[in-house]
Structure 1
Amino acid sequence: MKHVLLTGANGFVGKVLLDQLLAAGYRVSCACTTPNPSSRAGVEQAVLDIRDPSACAATLERLKPTHIIHLAAISHVPTSFRDPLLTWNTNVIGSLNLLEAIKQKAPDAFVVFASSSEVYGEAFKAGVALDESSPCLPMNPYAASKLAAELAFEQYFKQGVKGVIARPFNHIGSGQSPDFVTASFARQIALIESGKQAPVMQVGNLEACRDFLDVRDVCAAYLQLLELSDGAEHPRVFNIASGQARKIRDILDEMISQSPAAISVELDPQRLRPSDIPFAVGNCDRIRNVLGWQPSISLKETLASLLADWRVRVVAE
């Protein structure tokens, strides 16, 4: 049976991906920095801090996975500005520790590394959907750390480690932290509906265009990337994108339209990112042509599920 080690399994994406891996019949081991109190039957838990090289080696030697999906990361851009050392230690040194453990302890394993569309950075200023050959010009510590980790993966691929690099664009859905824009919108709407917030939403830049995906579609792409382990020749880097530009303002309008509440909107300067860019959209031709993947969940459905999730969550706040 194929055995997947999933790092960052307690995170927003990891929880969704675990469900899909189990549904697809994989044996799954979850690696997290803290034990999961709601662990699933039949899913092995491995407490692992990827910043510890000996712990990475011991975990890989014990589990001997056939496949690895590496999600563990500091993934919040403002956090990367506040604590760059933590970001680089986790995203770069942590990835190097994992790669060295793979090379030494599980050399036949196939690894999918979750990088980020943020690596393109200033290249988005061209105003077109970027493909995998576009220059990488990161604009924040998070993006820079992800690109550095990509370079580490490329070096280990040359040394015989098998795998691919994924560059997912903005993925959203149930369970996401309100540090991210659509979850922030959903939480505020749910608080307003429940009478816990005045009917005024605090927002940042609404004019930016982004490429939004349902987290379930992104996880489906990761599962399809695992299938490249069959040994056939394939590209090393894949965008996971919709190819569609969506203005943040249109996302907000759609979410407000799904609420019965009368809501007004107010700009909060503290929500403006120092390196925000006006247009960030990806070309997904490669993953569509190689694997046949494409998004299947409509944005309207995604936003409805996000709102439903926060309506339940704010009750407990």
Structure 2
Amino acid sequence: MSIDGADRPILVTGGAGFIGSNLVDRLAGAGHKVVVYDALSRAGVETNLAWVQSRHGDRVQAIIADIRDEDRLADAAANAKAVFHLAAQVAVTTSMVDPRDDFTINIVGTLNLLDALRTRNPKAPIIFASTNKVYGDLADIDFQLEGDRYVPGDAAVRDHGIGESRPLDFHTPYGCSKGAADQYVLDYARSFGIASAVLRMSCIYGQRQMGTEDQGWVAHFLIRALEGKPITLYGDGHQVRDILDVSDAVDAYVKAWERIDAVSGRAFNLGGGPANAVSLRQLLSHIGTLLGRELEIGTSDWRAGDQRYFVADTRAAEAALGLGAKVPWKEGVARLAAWLAAERNLAAPAAVLEAAA
């Protein structure tokens, strides 16, 4: 599919968010016009929008609206040459407090967008941001505690991670809503011929992340550590995730668009893979080393649906999308620490600045 020539804009829902703003920056930097559709409901994301607009001027236009506003969303989608759908309710904890709101944002909002494309712009491809939570808590896999991390007993999972052939098993309202949206996006390719691809993301981190205790835990740990505040681990802290730098995630989104004719109707697991798998305690130990001091760490009960281990098998995505080498996690974490320190006017130790250089 040709992605050049047309003067129509690219629509990025949730384009003021963490991943969204990095994606908008990449697309606008390549010369595309971009429409950011965002409700600006997450604290701090207005600064991301101001950042991309300051860098790219009138190539970035903003529509401040909710994806549940069916008419405004349809109007925004009607002229798009491509759509990246990242707008969502993103926290498991929030979904447990207000599952109805989670449902209407993640399922109804996605269906609004898909049907706008079906009825008004059926040739525009859509790339959807899904989650590893569609696979549930993986409780049937045997995990062993080795040192400060869980390790799967299955050799294939240990070597490569969780693949796309893993059965879907939605847990928590968030898992249900994102999983249902994931399946709707794939089915609109099958039922209506809407070119689409789904990226089931593991833990993405990087610059412009507004980390909180509920979402964006890598940035949250760094912010608390830089500010000298205590950090709470939910569960035992031996949970393992394959963390992926946002620059690599953006590469995958762009490649999925560029290769949409070949990958339409497919879902891919997107994460750092085994080489970037790290437990929460390992990450905190590394942050303490970077900052040159011991961190204050407490514990609390496990959260609903928390996976003791998730590492994405990235081989399918790498082969189909032509992805290159990933940023090593220690390098990426140091870069994020340096950026957060600068953004918040916090002192960054020399070790952080040297590692981020």
TM-score, structure 2 normalization: 0.80
Which residue, 165, 173, 195 being the options, matches 2:198? 165
- Match of 2:268, SS state, is strand
Aligned partners of 1:181, 1:69: CA distance in 2, in Å?
A: 24
Report the RMSD for the aligned CA atoms in angstroms.
2.0
The percentage of counterpart residues that share the same residue type is 28
2:239, 2:308 within 8 Å by CA — same for their partners in 1?
yes
8 Å CA contact 1:112–1:163 kept in 2: the answer is: yes
For residues 319 and 243 of structure 2, what CA distance do their matches in structure 1 show? 20
1:216 to 244, 247, 259: 247
List per-residue Cα deviations over 1:179-211 (Å, max 9, x = no partner).
33212210111112xxxx4xx544333101111
* 8 Å contact from structure 1 (residues 74, 90) kept in 2: yes
Match of 2:19 in 1: 13
Alignment of 1:295-306 (within 5 A): 295-306=325-336
Q: How many residues align?
A: 305
**1:234 Cα deviation (Å)?**
5.2
* Cα distance, 1:233–1:16 mapped onto 2, change above 3 Å: closer
For 1:268, what is the secondary structure of its paired residue? strand
In 2: Cα distance, 1:213 partner to 1:99 partner: 28
Q: Give the equivalent residue in structure 1 for 2:175.
A: 143
Identify if the C-alpha distance between structure 1 residues 104 and 77 changes in structure 2 by more than 3 Å, giving closer, same or farther. Answer: same
Provide the C-alpha distance between the structure 1 equivalents of 2:238 and 2:105, rounded to a whole number of angstroms.
32
User: What is the rounded CA distance, in whole Å, between the counterparts of 1:23 and 1:274 in structure 2?
Assistant: 40
SS in 2 for 1:171: strand
Superposed displacement of residue 224, structure 1: 0.5
Distance 1:223 1:309 in 2: 24
- The structure 1 residue matched to 2:320, chosen from 284, 290, 297, is 290
Question: Residue 163 of structure 1: CA displacement?
Answer: 1.2
Contact 1:242–1:295 (Cα < 8 Å) also in 2: no
Matches of 2:115 and 2:264 in 1, distance apart?
Answer: 23
Aligned residue number for residue 146 of structure 2 = none
SS in 2 for 1:203: strand
Amino acid at match of 2:206: G
- Counterparts of 1:72-111 in structure 2 under 5 Å? 72-111=87-126
Q: Any stretches of 5+ residues in structure 2 without a counterpart?
A: 41-45, 142-151, 347-357
Say if 1:124 and 1:279, in contact at 8 Å, map to a contact too.
no
Partners of 2:95 and 2:246 lie apart in 1 by 22
The gaps in structure 1 that reach 5 residues or longer are none
Q: Which residue of 2 aligns with 1:182?
A: 218
Which residue type is aligned with residue 46 of structure 1?
Answer: I
- Aligned pair in 2 of structure 1 residues 201, 91: CA closer, same or farther (>3 Å)? closer
Quote how far apart the aligned CAs of 1:52 are: 1.6
Distance across 1 between alignment mates of 2:220 and 2:33: 34
- 1:125 is displaced (CA, Å) by 4.3
Could you tell me which residue of structure 1 aligns to residue 341 of structure 2? 311
CA contact (8 A) 1:8 1:71 kept: yes
Indicate how the Cα distance of structure 1 residues 48 and 105 shifts in structure 2: closer, same or farther if over 3 A, else same: farther
TM-superposition CA deviations, 1:161-193 (whole Å, max 9, x none):
11111111110112222233212210111112x
